[in-house]
């Protein structure tokens, strides 16, 4: 898979670790920055990485900032993106299995190297199970289109 990566200055070191993990798992990385610890605005890199997923230039993206909240909010504004802020392996697994998340957001301040590795590995290895969850993901897409998801017949 092609994995887009992005961080702000607070997530830079964690992004470097993630890049190594993704490469070790035999995936291709597309790094949208930042390239050092100098201050940058997280929406800029979130937009670039999330848009690459939306345009199908990348299969998925992983974004990091100090809390993961800003990246999650910014990425979820991009059409076709389902960004999930995950703090543990269970959240990472469910975000893929149930919600077909295509962007993983992480907190550099709250996630150590060992947990970071576990979350990234689980998230990249977990497939979307579909089934009853497909209907719910279609409803998320309906909201994105400005529609009331309750109006979808059979999802």
Q: From the CB of residue 28, how many other CB atoms can be counted at a distance below 10 Å?
A: 12
User: Over the stretch 25-38, which tens digit does the pLDDT of each residue have?
Assistant: 999 999 999 999 99
Q: From the CB of residue 65, how many other CB atoms can be counted at a distance below 10 Å?
A: 29
What are the domain boundaries of the chain? 2-127
Q: What is the CATH number of domain 2-127?
A: 3.40.1400.10
Cα four-point dihedral sign 80, 43, 83, 115: positive
E strand or H helix at 2 = strand 2-7
User: Over the stretch 82-124, which tens digit does the pLDDT of each residue have?
Assistant: 999 999 999 999 999 999 999 999 999 999 999 999 999 999 9
CB-based contact 116:68 (threshold 8 Å): no
Active-site residue set:
65, 98
């Amino acid at each position: 898979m092609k994995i887009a990566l992005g961080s702000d200055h607070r997530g830079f070191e964690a992004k470097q670790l993630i890049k190594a993990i993704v490469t070790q798992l035999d995936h291709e990385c597309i790094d949208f920055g930042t390239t050092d610890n100098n201050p940058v605005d997280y929406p800029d890199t979130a937009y670039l990485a999330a848009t690459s997923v939306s345009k199908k230039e990348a299969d998925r993206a992983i974004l990091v900032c100090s809390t993961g909240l800003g990246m999650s909010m910014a990425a979820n504004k991009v059409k076709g993106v389902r960004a999930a802020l995950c703090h543990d392996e269970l959240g990472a697994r469910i975000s893929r299995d149930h919600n077909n998340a295509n962007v993983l957001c992480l907190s550099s301040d709250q996630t150590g190297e060992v947990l970071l590795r576990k979350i990234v590995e689980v998230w990249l290895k977990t497939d979307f199970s579909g089934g009853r969850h497909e209907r719910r993901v279609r409803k998320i897409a309906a909201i994105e289109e400005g529609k009331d998801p309750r109006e979808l017949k059979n999802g």
